[in-house]
Amino acid sequence: MTNENGTSRRDFVKGLATGAMGGTLAGMGLYSYSSAAYNRMPKVARSGQEFGAIRSLKVTSISETSWFNNAHLVGDIKAAGGLLVNQYTIGWPPFGNGKGIAKTNYEEGIAPIKKMLPNDLEAAWAQQTKNSIHPENPGGYSCLLEVEDLDGSKHKYLLDVGWSYDWMDQSFKREGIDQMLKANDIEELIITHEHFDHYWGFPVAMKYNNKIPLYVHNGFYKEGMQYLKDSGYKGDPKIVDKELTLIRPGMMLMKFDVPIITRVFGETSLAFNVKDKGLVLVSGCNHQGILQMTSTAFKKLKYDNDRFYGIYGGLHISPFEDWDPKYDDLVFALKKWNFARVGCNHCTGHLTARKFVEQGYPVVRGTARFRSSSPDYLGNGDTITF
Amino acid sequence: MEADNREVSYLESRKLVKRWGGPWPAIVNTLMIFAIFYASWWVFQDPRGIMRMYTPYVGYMVCRWLLIMLIWVAYIFDFWPFKRSWLNKTHPVVKGLILTAISVGIMEILIEGFFKGFLGNLGIAYFSPDRLISMGVTDFYAEEYASEAIMMFAAIASWLSPSWVVACENAPWQKLNQPSRGITVMVVTFFLSMIVYFVTMHSHMAILFYPWQKYAAITPTWSTDFANTVSGNFHIAWIMSGTVVVWVYESIWERYPFNLIKTDWLRRTASFFGIIAVALCVCFFIYYAEDLMWGLTVRGTRREAAPDWRWLHVGETAIFWLVGVLYLAFFCGNWPTKFSRPVNVFLRTVVSLGIGIVVYVLYYRYAHLFLGTQKGFSHPQQFPMIPTIWLINLFLINMWFMDGWPGWKAVPKTAEELDRVHEEVVAHDVSWTPNLAKGLAVGATAGVAFYFGVVTILPWIAQNVQIIK
């Protein structure tokens, strides 16, 4: 009797263990990806923060050509070991040390030019031209934002400072940025992220105004923070550590914590509420993804007409003219947001622009001047007003 | 050849005996494996290291194909052409070095010779970096695209190759001698992998190029609407889940419950498709869990919210579980073993899931401090499957090629122990009784309740537990 009971109990436990796994698996398989499961998911909550409005926004592309030879840039990345290699160690100017590809670091790169920054940029760049990989390749990304308030007053902001000292100095002079900086006409400088082509030209801005109020993402690595000082910055940088930072009424800085290729962390982008039109998004590279930005703005911000009106900047889709099927997801899905004007350039990639046009998106074409390679999108010296 | 006519494979024929009492073998082997992991990671993969194969796709391809080679050598070819006497007598370190070197050599021939050289030049251009370069793709992306395609092929083979041995018991060629059996199973699984590749991943590769290669592939993939992405990562999700479930079934589940089926063809068929069914359960659950914790996906975006990344992360998460499964099976003696098989299987599943979750948390919290990677769940060029599969490869080399040295040594199994091997293939320890049926019913109800408890609590966990700081 005892044995029978024991056997019965053991059988029950065997069944219990097996049934528990089977029942769990049945739930996992039959319910998890069903419409019933998704019906219980909460709807997207919109907090809809009011942040004022502006009358208009004019963007001038100072430079969108971050590099001039894609094969050289991508070849350098390949030779250095791929897309995860720390950007400061690759050997690009101004951080080369003359030892070849991927054999340098920030300290060795900055040492010979530290004393030249920010006032003797020609000598500094010439020095690092000798020490670095493909010194002729760097360009940079930078744009001027002119915000018109509802009362008609205008305010200028500089978004990013490019890469090559030579190229950025030329570009600044071409668009009169040097004089604006000197005259304190540009109120603030926003560095979207730490990438070489957006940030390494920092000494050029310092040459003209080394106390300009400055915003940087709190994900900057120690080399990036040191570069602020080594470039001669004398101000007190505002370290962006909140998801939303109001710059001025109608102008919101949005922070995204995302790991990025070549060991960079985090990006900030801007959202503008243009009166009677809607939301305009301005980005450096948009490493977080344009639809991540639209989704965040949709949830967090309140804007006129509840409409996404325009985009300006790099959308980081095919920066190296590379492709991935998920980018096609973006090309298709962007339609849902119904942008009235798409002023993309830079790391968006020409292939992406072509696919956008094929989808019927209102991509604003450029003039292909000042070494911009194609009129597919807004190029160097081009402007767009929202 | 001595190995030709063995009914029992070398791995089944040996018993691994601890060299020291207590937890020391596991501790010593774990430390040794982690030391070798980190050294080899630095030499081969680390973006700060020497060869820097983590480009990422080159390193991704290599670690996956090495996994297949280990499976081929140990499972499919049963170490042919090495004699059983050589396997029994040679020092484990020497065996490990020789067998690993051979695996790497075959892998190189396969990648460079078959895929890039033969297939890439005579069949499908995207397998050959040189062809892509000649058509205008930059050197870097030519290498990455080709590596991605070759890697995806390996993902499929990593499920099908062991599945044929474990689930199908090498049928109908189980009585063939080596190398006939090995060659046959390898060719068949390779062929099946190719078919699965064509209907899953070929479309993914075809839309990498502009315009979409619609005359050469179905573009976009047929799963687009179901998976909410044109990316092939949906297929990576279920296929990687399949890879994991094969080893779960083989190791901690001891082929339970399908080994209760006495009819050979039915057991093998049920095992093969049962593994797929369980894999789909795992796949859909992990995807849903991600949605519960991170919110609904936004098609077209990047990072955590992107459907393609969520599918990819299903495979990544499943591999973390596999780390737990294999560690438990190899280094903890498949603990526990003292209960009935169903209870052991249940407890091991719970424990291995626990290990997997711990490894997952540790990886996302700390790995960026050691591996030359960056913190964050979703990085467009980071694949946690690279370090996890790299680690799993070392587990397999240690246990399959080196008999668990230094913590364990191999001794021949007794006749009674060999009988237990057969008992694992066709089990007799669970029979249908009314109490078993009652237990099944109660257990199934509890399992369903547990499932709904988990999906209810997941959003709360997401709100209150921060893995990455």
d(CA B118, CA B164): 26
What number of other Cβ atoms are within 10 A of residue A183's Cβ? 11
For residue A357, pLDDT over 90 is answered with: yes
- Tell me whether residues A84 and B346 touch, CB distance under 8 A: no
Query: What pLDDT is stored for residue B428 in this prediction?
Result: 87
pLDDT beyond 50 at B4:
no
- Inter-chain CB proximity A17 and B343 less than 8 Å: yes
Taking CB atoms and an 8 Å limit, are A33 and B296 in contact across chains? no
Segments of B238-337 assigned E as strands: none
Q: What is the mean pLDDT of residues B106-128?
A: 96
Single-letter residue type at B377 = F
Residues of A in contact with B343 (CB under 8 A): 13-14, 17
Taking the CB of residue A218, how many other CB atoms lie within 10 A of it? 15
Ramachandran category for residue A154: left, alpha or beta (phi over 0 → left; psi -120 to 50 → alpha): beta
pLDDT at residue number A77: 93
Mean pLDDT taken over chain A: 94
Cis peptide before B412 (omega within 30 of 0): no
Q: Which of A354, A357, A375 is nearest to A366 (CA)?
A: A375
State the pairing for strand pair B14-18/B408-412. Answer: antiparallel
Residues of B in contact with A194 (CB under 8 A): none
Q: What is the pLDDT of residue A3?
A: 65
d(CA A118, CA A113): 9
The amino acid that residue B326 corresponds to is: L
Cα separation, A157 vs A62, in Å, equals 12
* Structure-token pair, residue B201: 């991943």
Q: What token pair was written down for B171?
A: 């049928």
Cα(A28)–Cα(A30) distance, integer angstroms: 6
Three-state DSSP at A148 gives strand
**Would you list the domain boundaries of chain B?**
10-430
Q: Is A252 helix (H, G, I), strand (E, B) or coil?
A: strand
Q: Is the per-residue pLDDT at B3 higher than 70?
A: no
Contact between chains at B442 and A19 (C-beta distance less than 8 A): yes
Structure tokens at B282: 């795992």
**pLDDT-based confidence at B22, cuts 50/70/90?**
very high
Residues of A whose CB is below 8 A from B446: 16, 19-20, 23
Give B-chain residues touching A260 at CB under 8 angstroms. 374, 379
Distance CA B196, CA B53 (A): 27
pLDDT band for position B7 (50/70/90)?
A: confident
Q: What is the pLDDT of residues B294-306, one digit of tens each?
A: 999 989 888 889 9
Between A and B, how many CB-CB pairs are < 8 A? 285
* Chain A residues near residue B455 by CB distance under 8 angstroms: 27, 31-32, 37
- pLDDT on residue A43: 80
**What residue in B sits closest to A8 (Cα-Cα)?**
B435
Q: How confident is the model at residue A30 (pLDDT cuts 50, 70, 90)?
A: very high
pLDDT tens digit string along B315-340?
Answer: 999 999 999 999 999 999 999 999 99
- Contact flag B447-A44 (C-beta cutoff 8 Å): no
Distance CA B164, CA B154 (A): 15
Nearest chain A residue (CA) to B373: A84
User: What residues are paired with A142 via a beta bridge?
Assistant: A63
H or E, element range at A316: none
For residue A6, pLDDT over 80 is answered with no
Residue B1: per-residue pLDDT: 37
pLDDT value at residue A1 = 47
Q: Quote the percentage of chain B above a pLDDT of 90.
A: 90
In the predicted model, is pLDDT for residue A255 greater than 60? yes
Q: Would the CB atoms of A24 and B373 count as touching at under 8 Å? A: no
Tokens 């499961």 correspond to what residue?
A: A37
pLDDT-derived band of residue A237, with 50, 70 and 90 as boundaries?
very high
Interstrand relation of A383-385 and A341-345 (parallel, antiparallel or unpaired): unpaired
- Can you say whether the dihedral through the CA atoms of B161, B166, B172, B174 is positive or negative? positive
B47/B54 Cα distance (integer angstroms): 6
Contact check, Cβ <8 Å, B455/A32: yes
Task: Determine whether A83 is exposed, middle or buried from the number of CB atoms within 10 Å of its CB (0-12, 13-18, 19+).
Answer: buried
Distance CA B123, CA B146 (A): 13
pLDDT in tens, A32-71: 999 999 998 888 788 889 999 999 999 999 999 999 999 9
| Per-residue pLDDT reduced to its tens digit, A273-321 | 999 999 999 999 999 999 999 999 999 999 999 999 999 999 988 888 8
Is residue B54 over pLDDT 90? Answer: yes
A182-199 tens-digit pLDDT: 999 999 999 999 999 999
Tell me which residue of B149, B110, B105 sits closest to B127, measured CA to CA: B149
* Banded model confidence at residue B419, pLDDT cuts 50, 70, 90: confident
Amino acid B421: pLDDT: 81
Section A315-339 average pLDDT: 90
C-alpha span between B129 and B121 (Å, rounded): 10
Strands of the sheet containing A244-248, edge to edge, are A244-248, A251-260, A264-274, A278-283, A308-314, A341-345
CA distance B302 to chain A (A): 5
